Structure 1
Amino acid sequence: MAEQQTIVITGASDGIGAAAAGQLQALGHRVVLVGRSPEKTAAVAQRLDAPSHVADFADLDQVRGLATELLAAHPRIDVLANNAGGLFGQESTKNGFDKTFQVNHLAPFLLTHLLMDRIVESRASVIQTSSAAHRLFGHLDLDDLGNARSWSANKAYGDGKLANVLFTRELHRRFHDKGVNAVAFHPGVIATNFANDTSSLMRFVYRTPLARLLTGVESGGGRLTRLAAGIPGTTWEPGRYYENDRVGKINPQVKDDALARGLWERSEALLGL
């Protein structure tokens, strides 16, 4: 196999994060688990005998604490898989941001920023779990990132996942010449309790016979595993968005360089960086 890597996976207490963690460990890599639920994260960590950390991305102070813990515990980070995310009801976090936008974009943006020196030192890969929803529902307005003017569950989720792809593109532009490789991907429509507590019509798919058509967590996790265990520039192309293990169609806004830069700068300003 390739040289052993230290791979940090957020959203690793269940779903594709837990599946990928098991697959990557089986390939001989060292996985570091990050989850929101202490109980579920501990259970996966015990099963895999892997180090773990707990942080709720709806609380940015916990994200800052997580970064401090990761830097202290792991002198090398070869892959950061920003996999945590979700679709939530219309609510604001204690930090004052739309919860869907914070959990999907602002929190992983903050975590990546706080780990950036280590990422550069390690010449690491940063993987964003995005979604085809970025193309179907996303349309970012830098002056209304929380959709305060007109909120819907699908739009909020699509915007968060569009932000993931724009972040990947801008991360590539800023840091690729320093050895950092960034990529975003759609894991498939995964068979979980996704969108259960929202008004999104997507929640109905998961409780009908259509659920048989959904992607299993092992298959979805396999797409993350392929990127994390792969070789940037050889098995995947940095700076791109992947669907079904190949470069996928993108929202036209992804091609807007000014928007990508603007989102980065606006995110820094919102987070006080």
Structure 2
Amino acid sequence: GIKMRASLLLTFVMLIFLQLHTPTNILLLSLAVSDFLVGLLSLPLDIYRSTSCWFLGEMMCAFFFFLACQIPFVSVGNMILISVDRYVAICHPLHYPTRITAVRAKICVCLCWLWYGLYSLFYIRDQITHLNQPFRKDSCLGECAYIVSYATGVVDLIFTLILPVTVIVFLYMRVAKRSELKAARTLGVIVFVYLLAFCPYYCYSLVDIYLTKSVFAYFLIGFIYFNSCLNPMIYTLFYPWFRKSYGHFLVSK
């Protein structure tokens, strides 16, 4: 049973990598992996954290927040890389084969995961600082609660919300000028869903650094996870090139 499932998973992964012969497919795989890990790791751990006391220890709590930060943030980074890829492909098609290569795409994906890994260490420093603080507002023994300082919240607001939205809007507006009005409408959907998922959380985190076990706080955090679920659906529904490239992952040559 377990060995068979492991072998099947390994075969599936190998088939995927055999199809990664274009930069776009590499970026799509990175987006798919980050969104998949949200459902595989971040969401189950957050459900456990929110429905019972935390019995896995303080360092595991810090590690959970590291994953909870890095994985959704990587999805944002992947969206930026895909925006750059589409911008060059549509606005500079003659230079696309030389500017956007498979090797460069792999390097950008690796740097994206590395950057958000290092960024997540900065983000959870408040959590690590408060791990052994006896004055924490714990509502139950062994609670694993979000703690984000005001300064960290402002920095995160800039790097995770304002800058990504600015880059995505700028690139897709340039693409819309060269393609059709549908691209502009699609951009509106992407940005609206992104803002809908992230804005409420950041507004709340700037008001209260203790994101405690309230239904409202978990509702806001769940919105961020929900954004990762919607990303593949949005790109699949609105972009034919996405559906065609994504189909390569499921059907071998």
Pairwise same-fold verdict (TM > 0.5) = no
The structure that is helix-richer by fraction is 2
TM-score normalised to the size of structure 1?
0.28
The structure that is strand-richer by fraction is 1
Higher relative contact order (CA 8 A, sep 6+): 2
TM-score normalised to the size of structure 2?
0.29
Between structure 1 and structure 2, the one with the greater Rg is 2
